[in-house]
Amino acid sequence: MAKRLHYFDLPGRAEFIRYILHYSGQNFEDVRYERSKWPIKNIKDNLPYGQLPLYEEGNKSLNQSVAIARYLASKTDLLPSDPWQQAILDAAVLNINDFWGKAVVYLMEKDPVKKAAIKKQVSEEVVPYYFSRFEKELSSSGGHFGGKLSWADFILVGMVETANLFFGEEFEKKYPSITALMKKVRALPGIKEYIASRKPYAL
């Protein structure tokens, strides 16, 4: 069945989905739109909520990045079968989402003075608040959310890479377990080759 992922030519809310697809060796069409040309009216108007990513599988389609990632993970070893373990990972994913929800305000702001103030607040307050907690959770459970490699790990890596790109930082550098997890995920079979073949992202 043909699989297609639509997003911008950016990591954002699609890179963790791309990672899951590459890790699980799936063939898919990685459709990328140029952010500078958005909104592309005939595409946006046909999206169920006007936003990307959108995932298509045969004649079915799904929006919401986390739902797409969880669905794809459920066909791999990245989603455990135990409901409690699943809930631990859902909580981790929602915590990462909460982090990004606070950081993304920076991207929306157009006023340069306000933008600089948000950047400072994200770097000095939001990142330390969330990253120290991610670090604690990872270091107390063998380097992974929930104790073993999962889709939640992929989401953290994708969102830290996104934050780094937009803020021009390496936010993970003071956090050894986050750094180690990023290194590990990027070296996984399928992901390693994808990263090697990928053009560097630019804003």
Ligand X SMILES: N[C@@H](CCC(=O)N[C@@H](CS)C(=O)NCC(=O)O)C(=O)O
Reduced to 3 states (helix: H, G, I; strand: E, B; else coil), residue 7 is strand
- How far apart are alpha carbons 6 and 98 in whole angstroms? 23
Other Cβ atoms closer than 10 A to 32: 14
Query: Is there binding between residue 48 and ligand X (CB under 6 A)?
Result: no
Residues in contact with ligand X, shown as a per-residue x/- string from 20 to 39 under the rule CB under 6 A: ------------------xx
Of 38 and 129, the one with the shorter C-beta distance to ligand X is: 38
Query: Is there binding between residue 11 and ligand X (CB under 6 A)?
Result: no
The residue of the chain with the least Cβ separation from ligand X equals 51
What single DSSP character describes residue 171? Answer: G
Query: Is there binding between residue 52 and ligand X (CB under 6 A)?
Result: yes
Long-range contacts of 86-90 (CB under 8 A, 24+ apart): 88/145, 88/146, 89/145, 89/146, 89/150, 89/151, 89/152
Query: Is there binding between residue 139 and ligand X (CB under 6 A)?
Result: no
Query: Is there binding between residue 64 and ligand X (CB under 6 A)?
Result: yes
Beta strand ranges found along 82-122 (DSSP E): none
Of 160 and 175, the one with the shorter C-beta distance to ligand X is: 160
Which residues here bind ligand X, judged by CB under 6 A?
12-13, 38-39, 44, 50-53, 64-66
